[in-house]
């Protein structure tokens, strides 16, 4: 005994539903999945993410975002942005050292050195003063290298952007490292 009778339009309705559901899933996947984003959307967001990471004090992710930008679209601007992040990290470390905030230096070391779930059960132990010296030497070296690369690509742009960076340092001497100069463009030329 059949309790429910299929209307004649059920097959047609079911097909329409399947097609509509497929379209919605496809559109949803395009909006949520980075693989469906255009190359320009993905690339222009690297520096935007780097600026947010910098503001949060997440220097590891800021460096990684800038490195992704350099890999995907090498330019004087992308090399210079990476250089700035290295220098911001150096400035922040120096600030922590001069204000005797060694626990934060150690936290910064953990941010840079770790990022895996295993680190929660086996955290690295390091003396904060040694970590400061190691990190500062490395970022200063890397900043010199990336600044030279940027200058080889566009010396005039580098000069202009460093003037803007110097103005930010003068305007905000106690926290310049937590942001990029406001006039820096996110969009690529």
In the chain, how many domains are there?
A: 1
What burial class does residue 139 get, using C-beta atoms within 10 Å of its C-beta: 0-12 exposed, 13-18 middle, 19+ buried? buried
- For residue 13, name the pLDDT band (cuts at 50, 70, 90): very low
Task: Establish if 80 belongs to a structural domain.
Answer: yes
pLDDT of residue 126: 67
Nearest partner of 123 among 104, 137, 109, judged by Cα: 109
Residue whose structure tokens are 């990476």: 82
Query: In this structure, is residue 168 part of a structural domain?
Result: yes
Mean pLDDT over all residues of the chain? 78
Place of tokens 């690295």: 124
Position 188 in a domain? no
**pLDDT in the model for residue 130:** 87
Q: What is residue 139's predicted lDDT score, i.e. its pLDDT?
A: 94
Cα gap 50→44, rounded to integer Å: 11
Q: What integer is the mean pLDDT of 88-102?
A: 93
Please state, in angstroms and rounded to a whole number, the distance separating the CA atoms of residues 73 and 54. Answer: 20
Mean pLDDT of 57-61: 93
pLDDT at residue 25 tops 60: no
Res. 36: pLDDT tops 50 = no
- The answer to the question of residue 5 being in a domain is no
Range of the domain at 174: 14-178
Q: What is the reported pLDDT for 44? A: 58
pLDDT class of 127 with cuts at 50, 70, 90: confident
Indicate the burial class of 16 (C-beta count within 10 angstroms; 0-12, 13-18, 19 or more): exposed
- pLDDT class for 59, splitting at 50, 70, 90? very high
Predicted confidence at residue 182, as pLDDT, reads 87
Looking at the domain assignment, is residue 62 inside a domain?
Answer: yes
Which residue, 77, 49, 69, is CA-closest to 147? Answer: 77
Residues 41-70, mean pLDDT to the nearest whole number? 87
Mean pLDDT lowest for which of 43-57, 63-77, 88-102, 154-168? Answer: 43-57
Weakest mean pLDDT among 19-33, 44-58, 60-74, 140-154: 19-33
pLDDT for the residue numbered 10: 42
Residue 187: closest CA among 78, 38, 62, 84: 78
Task: Assign 185 a pLDDT band (cuts: 50, 70, 90).
Answer: low
Query: Residue 6 — pLDDT band, cuts 50, 70, 90?
Result: very low
């Amino acid at each position: 005994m059949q309790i429910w009778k299929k209307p004649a339009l059920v097959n047609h309705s079911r097909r329409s539903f399947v097609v509509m559901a497929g379209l919605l899933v496809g559109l949803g996947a395009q909006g949520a999945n980075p693989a469906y984003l255009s190359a320009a959307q993905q690339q222009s967001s690297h520096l935007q993410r780097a600026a947010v990471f910098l503001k949060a004090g997440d220097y590891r992710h800021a460096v990684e975002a800038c490195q992704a930008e350099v890999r995907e679209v090498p330019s004087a601007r992308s090399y210079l942005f990476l250089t700035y992040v290295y220098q911001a990290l150096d400035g922040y470390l120096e600030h922590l050292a001069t204000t005797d905030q060694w626990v934060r230096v150690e936290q910064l070391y953990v941010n840079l050195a770790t990022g895996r779930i295993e680190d929660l059960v086996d955290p690295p132990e390091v003396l904060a003063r040694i970590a400061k010296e190691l990190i500062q030497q490395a970022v200063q070296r890397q900043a010199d290298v990336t600044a030279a690369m940027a200058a080889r690509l566009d010396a005039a742009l580098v000069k202009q952007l460093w003037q803007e960076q110097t103005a930010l340092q003068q305007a905000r001497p106690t926290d310049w490292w937590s942001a990029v100069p406001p006039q820096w463009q996110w969009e690529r030329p």
